[in-house]
Amino acid sequence: MSLRHVIFDCDGVLVDSEPISMRADVALLKQHGVSITEREAHDRFVGKTFQAMLDDVTAREGTQFPAGLSAVKDRMVEDMYRSELRIVPGVVDVLNHLKRKGISMSIASNSPRSRVELALELTGITRYFSGITSVADVKQGKPHPEIFELAAARAKVLVTDCMVIEDSMTGVTAAVAAKIRTIGFVGTHHEPDKQAGALKAIGAFAVVKRMDSLPNYL
């Protein structure tokens, strides 16, 4: 393998945003008569699109949701980002390490592009990335591999010359299906040891708990 490009997931990898997103999910579900804890939401839906979560709840419980709810969540989360969002410790050092090595970087996320762009802007790391591939750019989001295949194509590199950094089962499943070497990051997970085992079981070749461990595998 000749590493030329690293594709990062955003939520839970670059920024510690999953708790924010889960709080929004829980609040919106409650408004429509569905009670779920943040822990349950994280365990069931982290890494998936908001629409995939709604579809899952509809299939299980029959709840029907109004059109436009995704836009409501986007506005809610972006407002919360402006006061609460924090970068994952050690991310800037990793990005600088890759930049010094001449390795390009991009993002592939199941979140809307506007939310990813805001996260990068608020944390001051926009300049490191050559592009963003969001769920709106593909027919199927993660766990389908299309988003990573497109991110590699946009970077003009073969998937064999890429590496993916992912925190969720959904994301690792997608990256492995795209035949891209994948490192799992569990530093923002509430059960890091359990999540590490789960990510390895589905194909992550390594798992790290701290960003400062990542360069050892790059």
Q: Which helix (H) or strand (E) holds 54?
A: helix 50-61
Q: Which residue from 76, 81, 36 is spatially nearest to 54, judged by alpha carbons?
A: 36
* pLDDT score of 135: 92
What pLDDT digit, counting tens, does each position of 121-169 carry? Answer: 999 999 999 999 999 999 999 999 999 999 999 999 999 999 999 999 9
Measured CA distances, 19 to 40, 73, 91 (Å): 12, 14, 18
- Cα(21)–Cα(76) distance, rounded to whole angstroms? 9
**Which distant-in-sequence residues (6+ apart) come within 8 Å of 18 by Cβ?**
11, 12, 42, 46, 167, 188
Summarised one tens digit per residue, pLDDT across range 91-114 is 999 999 999 999 999 999 999 999
Instruction: Report pLDDT digits (tens) over 42-81.
Output: 788 877 888 888 999 999 889 999 988 988 998 999 999 9
Q: Which two tokens stand for residue 76?
A: 């809610």
pLDDT tens for residues 171-200?
999 999 999 999 999 999 989 999 999 999
84/41: higher pLDDT: 84
Cα 18–Cα 22–Cα 26 angle in degrees, nearest 5: 175
Beta strands in 70-159, from DSSP E residues, in sequence order = 104-109, 132-134
180 in Cβ contact with 163 (< 8 Å) = yes
* pLDDT (mean) for 3-25: 93
75 is written with which tokens? 């506005």
The one-letter amino acid at 132 = I
Instruction: Give pLDDT, residue 1.
Output: 65
* Least reliable range by pLDDT among 9-23, 80-94, 118-132: 9-23
Q: Give the gyration radius of the chain's Cα atoms.
A: 17
Place of tokens 């009670």: 35
